[in-house]
Amino acid sequence: MPQESWKEQDNEPILDPLASLLSEWTDPEAEEEEFRSDFFRGVEGRRKKAAFVLMSIWAVVAFLHLVSWGIWAIIGFSVLLALQTLRLITAKPEAEPEALTEAELSHAPSVSLLVAAKNEEVVIQNLVNQLCSLDYPVDKLDIWIIDDQSTDKTPGILDKLATQYEQLNVIHRPTGASGGKSGALNEVLPLTKGDIIGVFDADALIPQDLLRRMAPLFQQERMGAVQVRKAIANPDVNFWTKGQSVEMALDAYFQQQRIVTGGLGELRGNGQFVSRQALNSCGGWNEQTITDDLDLTIRLHLDNRKIGVLVNTPVEEEGVTSAIALWHQRNRWAEGGYQRYLDYWRFIISEPLGFNKKVDLLAFWLMQYILPTAAIPDVVMAIARHHLPLLSPLTGVALSLSGFGMYKGLRRLQSPESFSIAQFFNYLGQSLRGTLYMVHWLVIMPCVTARMAIRPKRLTWVKTVHAGTMDEDLEFERG
């Protein structure tokens, strides 16, 4: 990966975003070899791109309010989105393959498990015990914990555990090591031996048979990665953790439906498995993004790889328990998710993703990022012109899909035999509460898109407080 691709042009003034985009459009570096080696070059000029998109959204919404046929354009687009939604919810998900038998384990792929840990003294021993007790052949499993400059008892705990478990390898990164989680993973990758690379967070709770259930998915052609369904380990604490629990069910539902309709499966960080061959082809983990998992998702699909999902064997993680913690966490998720569109937009347009993937990507980009951001100029124009918001039909389709997906996601996680009328009303109540909880995204998305267009960024470390420990997250300091 070329070193110059990491340089952010943060000090440049936003003079002509359109010219910046047009210069990218005519970039002659379109050869296949350069495409393979130049995935990250799109990180340059993020502020200019974000500013251009934000100005375009406001301009288009204002224009549609001013022309007589604006409402009909919105209705027509809403019909198209509704048809895509109908296609999504009526598809039947693929059945998961059976777990590897004892006889099949002798031919199973080798697996390397990676964890980047910083100041994780409260949870790291439990995680190592779980990883070293997984039901998988010891000679086909190597485990790597990267101590990323911890200042608590994490290094000593890991060194002691390394003497107890033969398959455990501990790496201590020196002071000043860069790249955050992505840098830690990239540093240890050449030392691993697995055909499949798994990544976990330090607070993960892992089913013992997970690897036996995950490995068969990689037998499918062009399978580049598999994401295990995430679940919340502390769902009953309060409104926020209950909402996150339903949100995870919604995400699993969308994952299954998008994959079966030829759309994009996505990685979620904790509990992700990537083919070594696919990872090498994509250039490893991007050290200039907030969300390495979402960034890798796009590059895998651009490399014509599939991403599968394992739903019936979840990995649990701690949910944040306060509105402030949720705000900071989801801001990172939203900014990292948005970055990938700014970074790889010309590859997404020009490369042969396939019609289904492009439609899927467009639909979710519209619902997740564009609609919440466009709601602000839509309301401003509606007040100024004394009529209802123009984007109401599109918003109605998006909210309906979200609510329906929550119910179906919760329902799908239960066996058909155990379903009852009482459970129906229980799932319905959880879905209504989850819909209310999801309103926070309608605030976060426009804030993130505006902030990315205005404020410069530089890499730094910040703390995110969790119950009983402190996690490190790579974020951009506003300056």
Side chain identity, residue 423: Q
In a domain, 75, yes or no: yes
Whole-angstrom distance between the N-terminal and C-terminal Cα of the chain? 28
295 located within any domain: yes
Compute the distance between CA of residue 377 and CA of residue 70 in angstroms, rounded to an integer. Answer: 14
Q: Which residues, other chains included, contact 360 with Cβ-Cβ below 8 Å and sequence gap of 6+?
A: 84, 258, 261, 262, 263, 264
CA-closest candidate to residue 409, choices 242, 240, 251 = 251
Task: Let me know whether 210 and 276 are in one domain.
Answer: yes
Output the pLDDT for position 11: 38
User: Distance (Å, rounded) from C-alpha 425 to C-alpha 421?
Assistant: 7
pTM of the model: 0.84
- Look up the domain containing 70 and give its range: 3-92+353-478
The reply to whether 232 and 168 lie within a common domain is yes
Low-confidence residues of the chain: pLDDT under 70: 1-44, 351, 417, 456-479
pLDDT of residue 14: 37
User: Where would I find the H helices in 124-270?
Assistant: 124-131, 154-162, 180-188, 210-214, 239-260
Whether 329 is in a domain gets the answer: no
Sheet holding 223-232, edge to edge: 168-173, 141-148, 111-117, 196-199, 272-275, 223-232, 306-317
116 and 85, same domain (yes or no): no
Residues 273 and 312 in one domain: yes
For position 192, which CATH number holds? 3.90.550.10
CA distances from 72 to 59, 64, 78 (A): 18, 10, 10
At residue 54, the pLDDT reads 93
Please indicate, yes or no, whether residues 359 and 298 belong to a single structural domain of this protein.
no
Parallel/antiparallel/unpaired status of strands 223-232 and 272-275: antiparallel
Q: Which residues are paired to 223 by β-bridges?
A: 306
Per-residue CA distances from 386 to 58, 65, 372, 390, 392 (Å): 18, 11, 21, 11, 15
**Helix or strand or coil: residue 154?**
helix
Are 83 and 92 in contact, with CB atoms under 8 Å apart? no
Count up the domains in the chain and report the number: 2
Domain boundary residue among 320, 345, 363? 320
Query: Does 251 map to a domain?
Result: no
- Calculate the alpha carbon distances from 221 to 182, 216, 225, 307 in Å: 27, 11, 11, 11
Q: Are residues 189 and 288 in the same domain?
A: yes
Q: How many residues are given for the chain? A: 479
The answer on 174 and 278 residing in a single domain is yes
